[in-house]
A and B are shown apart, each in its own frame.
Chain A
Amino acid sequence: MKERYERPIIQPQQPYQMNPFGRTAALEAMTAIESVAVSELVAQYGSPLFVFSERSLRHQYRAARRAFTVRYPKVQFAWSYKTNYLQSICAVFHQEGAWAEVVSEFEYAMARRQGIAGPHIIFNGPFKSKAALCRAVTEGAIINLDCTDELETMLDIADDLGRPLTVGFRVNLDAGLPQSWNRFGFNLENGEARDAVRLAVESGKLIVRGLHCHVGTFILDPEVYRRQAKKLTVFTQEIEADFGIELTYLDLGGGFASTNTLQAQYLAGEQITPSFDQYAEAICSELLALQSRPAGFPLLILESGRALVDEAGSLIATVVATKPLPIGMRGVVLDVGLNALYTATWYRHQVIPAQSFSGFMEESVVYGPLCMNIDVVRDTVMLPPLGLGDRVLIKPVGAYNTSQWMQWIQARPAVVLISEQGEVDLIRERETIEDLAHRERVPSRLGQSGAS
């Protein structure tokens, strides 16, 4: 076998400096995903390629469910569609028993199309048209109202239908996060939420059945949830006592961190991401205060997204060029970038060579294929020398990418799912120009230049 050429490198000594890349010193090639060789996957499905592990999906789901069900008697997960709405991925979670959580009419239709019955869909989001609300009402979905305008719309619908409707309210509250999400729902501290509940109750047309509160996303501190759960518990007791209502569910939203590492995070995700048990302990130990209610415990709904799906997804990419940069770092260009990996703007994803390597680690910048300056997968990462055609794995990438990806400069890559038995199924084909073009209508006066 021909020996591989190893490029010489020069690295400045940095004595006495803490090394935030300490982990990469132990970087090892990952030549297979769930025992399926990367080279085989690429040979069959091409590059770039999203690869999901069903084992990991189920494992995460079960771990999360176990953490909560051993601490609280009524727990229901609802799969947050926006995180990843590939049908096969949703189907895995639904098979495991998850309901659907949707935030638009579009996602609502998607869940219905997936065969989820109305009562198993939680309809959130800041934009729900009257038509969408009407459909959700008749199909028995769980609706969490976001603002007073929506409340008014619901009152209208109740008038139209001539019967009272059940609703929940999204509330926002200060759970001690640096910036709390206060643009969604009714504020708890300033009494807005309470007023909304009163309005609903006094109208006689709405039956208030639950509260929803999603405090934010990628929350690394379980104490945030403890404060959230505590405030919701107290609020529940208050409004139940004051308005004579009985809530049947408390929806604590999502936001649990995955093992990804935020751009601004110093330590690696694997080291500091709390376990589901830690989150569950924080939430459930507060909710247990509701035991004394005459109606018993309300249903605890969780809409965890990224923490369930992120780990399961990897992206196989191919090195299409390497270039020396004037700043002394190595530039590595991949065949996929922000077009399909939106989360690179958030996270420092791991970039792992998918074939054995040798030579010294080198500080590198990983670029995508877009002819735009923003297309950076990692702005700095220690990588061994990589050559043209080498593969890398980018992970974890299961959350938000296969829903937020775009058709821009490149077509969207294919997605495969590896079953628990190691079978590989193509769950989404690579897009072609036709996927873009067939929606377009070119006026006949311009027709000549277009394809027929």
Chain B
Amino acid sequence: MLARLGTHLKFWYDATLLSYAQILFTKRHLTGWIALGVTFLDFKMGLAGCCAVLASNGLALLFKFNHDTIRTGHYGFNALLLGLALAYRYDLTGSLFILILVGSLLTLLVTVSLTSFMSYYVQLPILSLPFVLVTHLCYLAGTSATSLGLHPKFLSLIGNTLPVTVPSLLEIFFRAVGAILFIPSVEAGALIFLSLLLVSRLLAIFAVLGYAVGVVFLLGLGVAPEILNSGMFGVNLMLTAMALGGVFVIPSPWSYVLAGTGAMLCALMGLAGNALLGSSGLPLLTAPFIMTGLLVLYAMKFREFSPTLQLVTFLPGTPEENLDFAVTQVKRFGSYGGVRFSFPFYGEWTVSQGVHGAHTHKGPWSYAWDFLVHDETGQSFRHTGQQLTDYYAYQLPVLAPADGTVVEVVNWVEDNALGFINTKENWGNKVVLRHASQTYSVLAHLSPKSIRVRVGDMVRRGDCIGLCGNSGRSVEPHVHFQVQSGPDRLAHTLAPTFTRFLQRASADQPLVLVQQSGPETWMHVQNLNADDRLVSALSFPIGKCFRFQVHTATRTWEEKWVVTVDFSGTLFIESIPTGACAWIAINEGTFTVLSYMGHTETALFVLAIGASLVPLTYTEQLVWSDVLPYRYFSSRILRGAIEIVRPLLDLVTVDSQLRFERFADHPLAGGSVTACSVSTAITVKPVVGRWGHRIWKSVIVLDPIQGPCSLRLYAPNGTVKIEAQIIP
């Protein structure tokens, strides 16, 4: 009973405070508390805001809208703004509260509909659009509602609670900030700004930047300075810069430029809007910000891919969080989201000609690879190499590099005798596959009559489509592979992204796991082939539960992991009762933790950092590396400093080195001999100097039957920080 009550209270606590926090683009309770406090600087405003939030969230709950969405404050923040706007304009009467209640309902309905519409058709956030629409409706309606006394403060910000002195720059700025919550006082502004500083320095910087650029721009246009005192002009400038600088765009030097430019566009819209609406008596509210923001974000979707200015394609957090996620993501998974290709063969082959190859991979056909098989001595044939059959690659299976459809097959060109080439039929026997729009692959020089697929067939990654031959422009048996933009031979080649693969420079060197990029000439490469036992050790079937006994130096608890799948089809593990979550992916031979959310004292955290990337093939001597978000490994103050400069310069990196320990009777395996373990060294490294250089370690024992059965994290001083043991 008490527990039920507890979860209810927690729900309302989250939903309410986060509605306040959302207004400042954050998801922190702290921001929520401060914003809530600020509204109560004026009791009427505070009360109205609160009522609106509670009404909207309560109605959402009553109508059974998604529980988790309500909890994020998504259904509350527009209503909050509406409540503030109404209280700002009207006297404190019973009618005001009726209007707030009805307005909140309307806001909720608009929010729900707009969210669905915008995310489905244009993939854009709704921002405070419902607030603007409903407020205008209410104001318009309010003109004929006589019981709503007009509150005199509406027309001008100056001449408000403080007596007008010569407004210093700071004062103007803080008042403008305060106007975000319709309390244009210096105290309110200062408090809100402080809360920004506490949660995200970058947001604060963008707010200042937007305001400054906007103001200078307006003054430059010769606009009278009074306009800054009217309504939410400053707020629009700030919100625009925050949104475009770091909330919906990954922070970078260019995003500062975008933030400034955005502020200017917003100022322009504001001026135009004022001119348009001035006579109607309707305030602009946040309309200039919404219009600028949506316009810029929407237009940016149609650029060609470019590493500068990237949109936030995931659930946005603070600019710091967005940047961290993006940087880590790019380092870990590459920036290209298209088809990932496997090598079109079994086992280890050698690249005899890579990208921009010396022989034929030139110009528009640069992105191509020739593969053949070498023995230990680096020869591609046995005996004397005078017969095609002496060549190791000859007649080996050639595989589909990804799922696709067969669009062309040539299957009749004779294999050349050694030393001859066929320049008439350049590709010889070939298969062209379509994988996605503008993504085709070509496999060429196959053996005549060896091709087993026909045009129109669907093939799966790894299906055998033919045998390696020596047809076409080929001096010795090999496979030519390229990805191109169209089905015909004139299409230019593309730089494909490969799935992770194993590589070494020669047969006597240890294998290296390559995360992205294609292999270079003379590299020996192979696909990762999943090993049944590791697959079952790291398989997290939906619905499966794991229970752990977890210890730290000071605490002991039982942690439960539940495997679920989210709306986008991504698997995630939820840790109960810690609330932490880890999103995972298991594909093409690797287990990956995509991201982790939650605090750093959970067993799940150890999995997330200690097994962030595991090739599902047990390879002794293989050492591989990964990049982890630095935020788990630095103190709050250091983190703050790092984060401020991070859009310009990465001061700290966190790399991890992982390897398998031999399958054996592992002491941590608790009598199970069927286990192998992944041991990880995590190095926190400043870019300059050695200050703050630390190494964390972890060991995770993987059991094919039980899964990750024992997890340990060692702090840099060598002590066990977290230890978890599975409860069978």
B-binding residues in A (CB < 8 A): 59, 62-63, 66, 68-74, 95, 97, 115, 117-120, 139-140, 248, 275, 277, 281, 288, 291, 299
CA distance A117 to B663 in the complex (A): 6
Pair B620/A97 contact, Cβ less than 8 Å: yes
Asked if residues B345 and A299 are in contact (CB atoms below 8 Å), the reply is no
Interface centre among A72, A120, A288 (most CB of B within 10 A): A120
- B145 in contact (CB, < 8 A): no
Inter-chain contacts of B396 with A (CB < 8 A) = 70-71
A291 touches B464 (CB 8 A): yes
Q: Which of chain B's residues have a CB closer than 8 A to the CB of A69?
A: 346-348, 526
Which residues of A are found within 8 Å of B457, using beta-carbon distances?
none
Chain B 346-384 interface mask (CB, 8 Å, partner A; 1/0): 111100000000000000000000000101100000100
| B664 contacts A281, C-beta separation under 8 Å | no
Whether B464 and A140, one on each chain, are in contact in the complex, defined by CB atoms closer than 8 angstroms, is no
A299 with B507: CB separation less than 8 A: no
Contacts of A59 in B (CB 8 A): 376
Residues of A within 8 A of B463 (CB): 291
Subset of 5 A-B contacts with CB under 8 Å: A63-B376, A66-B347, A70-B348, A117-B674, A119-B663
* A119 partner residues in chain B, CB cutoff 8 A: 533, 663, 673-674, 704
| Complex contact A115–B664 (CB within 8 A) | yes
Question: In angstroms, how far is the closest chain B Cβ from the Cβ of A56?
Answer: 12
Question: B390 CB to closest chain A CB, in angstroms?
Answer: 10
| Across-interface contacts of B345 in A (CB, < 8 A) | 70
Distance, CA A115 to CA B674, complexed state (A): 13
Whether B673 and A139, one on each chain, are in contact in the complex, defined by CB atoms closer than 8 angstroms, is: yes
CB distance from A50 to the nearest CB of B (A): 25
A73 near B346 with CB under 8 A, answer yes
Q: Is the CB of B663 within 8 A of A62?
A: no
> B395 interface residue, CB < 8 Å from A?
yes
Q: A117-B665, A118-B673 are in contact. List 20 more A-B contacts (CB 8 A).
A: A63-B375, A63-B376, A66-B347, A66-B348, A66-B375, A69-B348, A70-B347, A70-B373, A70-B396, A71-B347, A95-B620, A115-B662, A117-B674, A140-B674, A248-B532, A275-B382, A277-B382, A281-B395, A288-B464, A299-B532
Please indicate the chain A residues that have their CB under 8 angstroms from the CB of B347 in the complex: 66, 68-71
Q: State the Cβ distance, A174 to closest chain B Cβ, in Å.
A: 28
B58 within 8 A of A: no
Pick the most buried of A117, A288, A291: most chain B CB atoms within 10 A of its CB. Answer: A117
Q: How many whole Å from B388's CB to the nearest CB in chain A?
A: 13
We find that the number of chain B residues with CB closer than 8 angstroms to chain A is: 30
Please judge, given known A-B contacts A115-B664, A291-B463, whether A66 and B373 are in contact too, CB under 8 Å.
Answer: yes
Q: A72 — nearest CB in chain B belongs to which residue?
A: B346
- Which residues does chain A contribute within 8 Å of B704, judged by CB atoms? 119
Contacts of B507 in A (CB 8 A): 62
B673 touches A71 (CB 8 A): no
Tell which of A70, A95, A120 touches B349, judged by Cβ atoms closer than 8 Å.
A70
A291 to B459, CA, bound (A): 12
Q: Does B37 contact A (CB under 8 A)?
A: no
The yes or no answer to B462 lying at the interface (CB within 8 A) is yes
Which residue of B375, B397, B462, B664 is within 8 Å of A71 (Cβ)? B397
- Least CB distance from B616 to A in Å reads 12
The SS class assigned to the B binding surface is loop
9 closest pairs, A vs B, by CB?
Answer: A69-B347, A70-B347, A140-B674, A117-B663, A117-B673, A119-B674, A73-B346, A118-B673, A70-B396
Interface flags for B387-410 (1: CB within 8 Å of A; 0: not) read: 000001101110000000000000
Kindly report which residue of chain B lies nearest to residue A59, judged by CB atoms.
B376
Does chain A have a CB within 8 A of B529?
yes
Cα A275 to Cα B395 in complex, Å, equals 15
Q: Which residues of B contact A62 (CB under 8 A)?
A: 376, 507
A281 to B397 Cα, complex, angstroms: 10
Minimal Cβ-Cβ distance residue in A for B468? A70
Bound CA–CA A66/B408 (angstroms) = 31
- B348 CB contacts on chain A under 8 angstroms: 66, 69-70
Q: Is the CB of A140 within 8 A of B673?
A: yes
**A73 close to B462 (CB less than 8 A):** yes
Distance (whole angstroms) from the CB of B133 to the closest CB of chain A: 53
A117 adjacent to B532 (CB under 8 Å)? no
Chain A residues with Cβ below 8 Å from B397 are 71, 288
Question: B375 contacts which chain A residues (CB < 8 A)?
Answer: 63, 66
Q: Which of B482-509 contact A (CB under 8 A)?
A: 507
Q: How far is the CA of A277 from the CA of B381 in the complex (A)?
A: 11
A68 proximity list for chain B (CB < 8 A): 347
Bound-state Cα–Cα, A97 to B464, Å: 26
Cα distance A118–B674 in the bound complex, in angstroms: 7
**What's the least CB distance linking A140 to chain B, in Å?**
4
CA gap between A118 and B704 in the complex, in Å: 13
Cβ 8 A contact of A70, one of B392, B462, B532: B392
Distance in angstroms between the alpha carbons of A115 and B673 in the assembled complex: 11
Q: What CA separation (Å) do A277 and B390 show in the bound complex?
A: 10
Using A70-B392, A71-B347 as known contacts, say yes or no to A120 and B663 having CB atoms under 8 A apart: yes
**What separation, in Å, do the CA atoms of A216 and B214 have in the docked complex?**
87
Closest A residue, CB atoms, query B617? A74
Interfacial chain B residues near A70, Cβ < 8 Å? 345-349, 373, 392-393, 396
Taking the closest CB of chain A, its distance from the CB of B439, in whole angstroms, is 24
Please give the distance in Å from A188's CB to the nearest CB on chain B.
Answer: 25
Inter-chain contact B392/A277, CB cutoff 8 Å = yes
Q: How far is the CB of A287 from chain B (nearest CB, A)?
A: 11
Q: How far is the CB of B349 from chain A (nearest CB, A)?
A: 7
Among residues of A, the one whose C-beta sits closest to the C-beta of B621 is A95
List, in ascending order, chain A residues with CB within 8 A of B462's CB: 73
In chain B, what residue has the closest Cβ to A119?
B674
CB contacts (< 8 Å) of B665 on chain A: these are 117
Q: Which residues of A contact B464 (CB under 8 A)?
A: 288, 291
Neighbouring A residues of B529 by C-beta, 8 Å: 73-74
Give the distance in Å from the alpha carbon of A321 to the alpha carbon of B397 in the complex.
57
Rounded to whole angstroms, the CA-CA distance of A318 and B645 in the bound complex is: 78
Complex CA gap A205/B348 in Å reads 40
CA of A70 to CA of B394 in the docked complex: distance in angstroms? 11
Please report the C-alpha to C-alpha distance between residue A30 and residue B465 in the assembled complex, in whole angstroms. Answer: 49
Point out the residues of chain B lying under 8 angstroms from A139, CB to CB: 673
Task: Note all chain B residues with C-beta closer than 8 A to A120.
Answer: 663
CB distance from B375 to the nearest CB of A (A): 7
Within 8 A of A (CB), among B441-495: 462-464
Which residues of chain B have C-beta atoms less than 8 A from A299's C-beta? Answer: 532
Q: Chain A contacts of B373 at CB under 8 A?
A: 66, 70
Tell me, rounded to whole Å, the shortest Cβ–Cβ distance linking B261 to chain A.
Answer: 53
A72 to B464, CA, bound (A): 10
Residues of B within 8 A of A97 (CB): 620
CB distance from B611 to the nearest CB of A (A): 20
Residues of A with C-beta under 8 A to B526: 69
B75 vs chain A, min Cβ distance (A)? 44
B373 to chain A, nearest CB (A): 6
List of A residues within 8 angstroms of B662 by Cβ = 115
For window 655-705 of chain B, which residues contact chain A by CB distance below 8 Å?
Answer: 662-665, 673-674, 704
Chain A CB within 10 A, most for which of B345, B392, B663, B673: B673
Report the bound CA distance from A140 to B703 in whole Å.
Answer: 11
| A288 contacts across to B, CB distance below 8 A | 397, 464
CB proximity of B268 to chain A, nearest CB, Å: 60
Which of B348, B463, B526 has most chain A Cβ within 10 Å? B348
A277 to B704, CA, bound (A): 33
Question: Is A71 touching B376 in the complex (CB atoms < 8 A)?
Answer: no
A34 to chain B, nearest CB (A): 15
Closest B-chain residue to A55, C-beta based?
B376
Q: How far is the CA of A76 from the CA of B367 in the complex (A)?
A: 34
A62 and B395 alpha carbons, distance in the complex (Å): 20
Distance between Cα atoms of A115 and B664 in the complex (Å): 7
Closest to A68 in B: B347
Task: Report how far A277 CA is from B463 CA in the complex, Å.
Answer: 21
Interface residues of B in 60-93 (CB under 8 A from A): none
Mark out the residues of chain B between 502 and 548 whose CB falls within 8 Å of any chain A CB in the assembled complex.
507, 526, 529, 532-533
Residue in A66, A72, A139, A281 with the greatest tally of chain B CB atoms within 10 Å: A66
Chain B residue at minimum C-beta to C-beta distance from A99: B663
